[in-house]
């Protein structure tokens, strides 16, 4: 997480999140830098982006906690067939977590989960992100039953 925080500016972090979503099987595009209404990335499953669900993503590369006001801003952009994904290198307030638990169209990803997703999809990363986050695969014998 610290490497992402130190080596990427806000817009580059949005590009990284879009790339991670692409590695997960989505088509993703970063919105314009200003006047985006809090939506930094738009992701969807179909190539043209017309079929629901459409996922509106807000990205924060802060290491601190994000709260309800930021979450509500993103939720305010949703229309029918759209979902909200908030990605933060830090964590979320208890109020924000509670809102996500009770809102089926909202998902929060924190820094810990970003690390898990990086491990899971690292093989598909572009060279520039592999250089930013250099990992080496290690095999451990399975001595199971």
pLDDT in tens, 29-87: 999 876 556 899 999 998 888 888 899 999 999 998 999 999 999 999 999 889 999 99
Q: Answer for the pair 76, 86: CB distance below 8 angstroms, yes or no.
A: no
> Is 56 a domain residue?
yes
Q: Residues 6 or more apart from 144 whose CB is under 8 A from it?
A: none
> How many folded domains does the chain comprise?
1
Q: Answer for the pair 43, 28: CB distance below 8 angstroms, yes or no.
A: yes
Domain residues for the domain of 17 are 2-132
pTM (2 decimals)? Answer: 0.90
> Is 140 a domain residue?
no
> Is 25 a domain residue?
yes
State how far the Cα of 52 lies from the Cα of 16, in Å rounded to an integer. Answer: 23
> Is 141 a domain residue?
no
> Is 65 a domain residue?
yes
* CATH number (domain holding residue 121): 3.40.1350.10
> Is 41 a domain residue?
yes
pLDDT in tens, 80-131: 889 999 999 999 999 999 999 999 999 999 999 999 999 999 999 999 999 9
């Amino acid at each position: 997480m610290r490497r992402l925080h130190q080596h990427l500016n806000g817009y580059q972090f949005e590009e990284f999140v879009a790339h991670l979503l692409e590695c997960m099987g989505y088509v993703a595009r970063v919105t314009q830098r200003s006047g985006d209404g809090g939506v930094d990335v738009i992701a969807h499953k179909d190539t043209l982006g017309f079929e629901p669900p459409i996922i509106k993503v807000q990205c924060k590369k802060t290491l601190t906690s994000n709260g309800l006001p930021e979450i509500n801003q993103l939720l305010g952009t949703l229309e029918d067939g759209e979902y909200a994904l908030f990605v933060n290198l830090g964590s979320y307030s208890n109020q924000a977590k509670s809102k996500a638990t009770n809102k089926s169209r909202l998902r929060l990803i924190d820094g810990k989960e970003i690390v898990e997703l990086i491990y899971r999809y690292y093989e598909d990363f572009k060279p520039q992100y592999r250089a930013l986050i250099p990992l080496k695969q290690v095999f451990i014998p399975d001595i199971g039953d």
